[in-house]
A and B are shown apart, each in its own frame.
Chain A
Amino acid sequence: MIGVLILALFLFFFPSVISHQKSFAFFVLAFGALLLGPQTIARFEETGIKKFLALFRDLFTRNPFARFITRKVFFLLLALFLSLTLVFIIPYLMPVNPLDIIMSRLAARPGATPLQIETMYQRYNVLFGLDKSIIVQYGLFWKRVFTLNFGVSISFYPNTIMSLVLYALPWTLSLVIPIWILTFIVGNNLGGWAAFSKNKFIHTLYTIAVCLNTSPYYWFGLILVYIFAVKLRWFPSGGAYNPFLMVSLKPRFLLNVLYHYILPFLSLFITSVGNWCTGMRAMTIYERQSDYIFYSKQLGFTENKVRNYAQRNAILPQVTGLPIILSALIGQTLLVEYVFGWPGLGTLAYQAVTAIDYPMIQAIFLITVGLVLFGNFLVDIIYGFIDPRIRRGYVGG
């Protein structure tokens, strides 16, 4: 089942194989199937719809874990709905008609003739249905969301917005996801060690991490560029790959990308490690005073095992911080991409902003929000797995 899911995700990125709408629908179906489980699907085939619906209802009300998942799915859908509505409503809350703003800015550009402006105006009107009532526009908005068709980009005419965003997305994800996971692992370990040991080296590492955490990540990127790219000339100062190389999956190209990847990665990694340190250290200190640690020590456990116990228990609340860190990380990654000229969503957003390409901005926002909410959902589910108390339906404590 998970394989099917991954396949659907994979196919999503290759529009030549299957169209976006279809792969998106496929993805949703596969996900639903994963939730329900293969047994339910098999039973559905056997017994027919009424029994299936009853089973469905049982599944979701009896099993505490399924109830937990349902609650999370509900939250995900609600959040998606709210944020998309938000992004739809914002232009209408502005005192001025947003279309007029866009048009006035376009008019301010050199070489714009009144005829061009007029045609663009009409085109926008048709595309967004601005001549119709707001309810119809809202409906059109949702239609656009579900079919993932945002139209053509103004700044990169004639590329469709979707294709541009899909090209940029993997670049951003290649930074965000490894950093998200690695900083969690390293940061929490550092915090846990700092709580247990009196080693000076570990404590200095910890203090450095926390101090650097308060700096703007992109600024730290500038420092790294200055030291490593300008002064030492070890790494390139920008871009994702040498523009003279062909884009391909060959090792030569990949190595070149990796070479360009290191500085942005480091600037994000070193600064975000500190996010976890203080929290984990406080939690571990708190756990260290608990009764089971005392009892384990009395029973003769080694110091390492005791630390392991404390850390395993202390990390649970830390996991709940993952989604928030993810959303902050995405924001910061956009800025870092801008500094390094990394061709991800960040640079795309900057270009969209300077060209006042509002549909593009909207699309980037949607993708970002979708990513964050999905990550949030994933983390909630994973937490349900690792905390045995939730698995058994224990809600208190």
Chain B
Amino acid sequence: MTVLKITGEKKDKDLLLVKDLRGYYRGIFGVVHAVDGVSLQVGEGERVGVAGESGCGKSSFAQLITGTTTPLLHYESGEVRVDGYDIWNISPEVLRKKVKCELISYVPQAMLSSLNPIKKVKEFIADMFRERTGCSYSVKKVCEIATEHFERLNLDRSVLDLYPYELSGGMMQRSIIAISTMATPKLLITDEPTSALDVSSQKRVIKMMIDIQRKGIIKSFVCISHDLSALNQLCNRIVIMYAGEFVESGGNEDVIKHPLHPYTKALMDSLLPLERETKYKPLSSIPGVVPDLRNPPHGCRFRDRCEKRMEVCNVEDPPEIVKGKRMVKCWLYK
């Protein structure tokens, strides 16, 4: 990695600026174009949701904007600036200290092994403090700080004394969110926060996340999920992702109530509103399958499943058409 800007300069007001980001999985199976040229801007105070079906590249996108990816995923090209720091072009030490410890926090999906299984939660938090600040904190002092923070987020303090395997899924997710926000990062990135949980836990997590932002603990967040209803409650902007590209974005009311892109329309149609007539309406689904991202097709990636397909969709990649706050990537709106 070239050591370009060691100190980094703050350019824009945007907390997160992504320009034409590409990230591929490279392995014996070939090269999978997981994230193929996406752009995004997140300012302070915004709550952005990234939605899409499984396998469209949402989690890969989340990893690529934090600077640490799982072993097979590689950053290919594009710019990712977090509060001005170009995270893929700075030294790992600066990345760790400046960006990870102070600016971003990432919340993974609450799999049971996200916390070190042989350390109690408070010991893990103490380790985190030591690593992030470089000073040695006693476990007792850490407990005090943690208790205060946990209680501010309506989490039970007893979680601190338990081992990770003793926590339930819901508790685990909320604890992880609490831990990730303890050092007051500016930007929080959460990957599928509600997916592994039952409905009441989901509600609590959503409430917690709204709380965090309202209380000013974090400034903005980016939430990745396939659960559109959760995103609707959490975010004020939604981005729809399909086969590695952003196909539509805008305020959540706009995107949900007045979808522009055919894919978004089909997604909204497939959601079940709680009305009387639901019993009699057949479930609508989108025919076809997601294209194999090892050989992404030329032209629009949705064309094989789109009812409004035109000639030009088979040939050329559709342009991104921006109108105010809305963006849509489709030939229909040229």
Contacts and interface: CB of A to CB of B under 8 A. Distances in A.
Interface string B108-137: 100101111110100000011001100000
Contact of A300 (B71, B117, B132): B132
A294 B70 contact: yes
Contact of A298 (B71, B100, B111): B100
A319 to B, nearest CB: 12
Interface string A321-358: 00000000000000000000000000000000000000
Given A299-B128, A300-B132, A313 B106 contact: no
B105 interface: yes
Interface residues of B, number: 29
B35 to A, nearest CB: 18
Contacts of A291: 108, 111, 113-114
B13 interface: no
Interface stretch (A98-106, A146-154, A213-221, A386-394): A386-394
A289 interface: yes
B156 to A, nearest CB: 19
B163 A392 contact: yes
A305 interface: yes
Contacts of B179: 299
Contact of B113 (A292, A312, A394): A292
B164 to A, nearest CB: 8
Interface string B151-178: 0000000000001011000000000100
A297 B111 contact: no
A294 B68 contact: yes
Interface in B184-204: none
A302 B93 CA distance: 9
Most A-side CB within 10 Å, residue of B71, B105, B106: B106
B116 A309 contact: yes
B135 to A, nearest CB: 14
A300 B113 CA distance: 18
Contacts of B60: none
B133 to A, nearest CB: 10
Nearest to B182: A299
A301 B179 CA distance: 14
A295 interface: yes
A292 B116 contact: yes
B252 interface: no
Nearest to A315: B118
Contact of A313 (B96, B117, B180): B117
Interface in A280-302: 289-292, 294-302
Contacts of B117: 292, 313, 389
Contacts of B66: 298
A299 B132 contact: yes
A300 B106 CA distance: 10
B290 to A, nearest CB: 25
Nearest to B106: A298
A395 to B, nearest CB: 11
A301 B116 contact: no
B101 interface: yes
A345 B288 CA distance: 75
A212 B163 CA distance: 41
B298 interface: no
A397 interface: yes
B131 A392 contact: no
B97 interface: yes
Contact of B114 (A295, A300, A388, A392): A295
A143 B7 CA distance: 80
A388 B119 CA distance: 8
Contact of B115 (A295, A316, A388, A389): A295
B116 A296 contact: yes
A295 B108 contact: yes
A5 to B, nearest CB: 28
Contacts of B106: 295, 298-299
Nearest to B130: A305
A289 B225 CA distance: 23
Contacts of A388: 118, 120, 163
Contacts of A296: 116
Nearest to A387: B118
Nearest to A290: B113
Contacts of A301: 127-128, 131
Interface string B208-225: 000000000000000000
A164 B96 CA distance: 63
Nearest to B69: A294
B118 to A, nearest CB: 6
A295 B70 CA distance: 10
Nearest to A397: B165
B68 A297 contact: yes
6 contacts: A289-B71, A294-B70, A298-B106, A299-B106, A300-B100, A392-B163
Interface of B: 66, 68, 70-71, 96-97, 100-101, 105-106, 108, 111, 113-118, 120, 127-128, 131-132, 163, 165-166, 176, 179-180
Interface of A: 289-292, 294-302, 305, 309, 312-313, 316, 387-389, 392, 394, 397
Q: Which 10 pairs of residues, A with B, have the shortest CB-CB distance? A: A300-B100, A300-B101, A298-B106, A291-B113, A301-B131, A292-B116, A291-B114, A295-B114, A297-B68, A300-B96
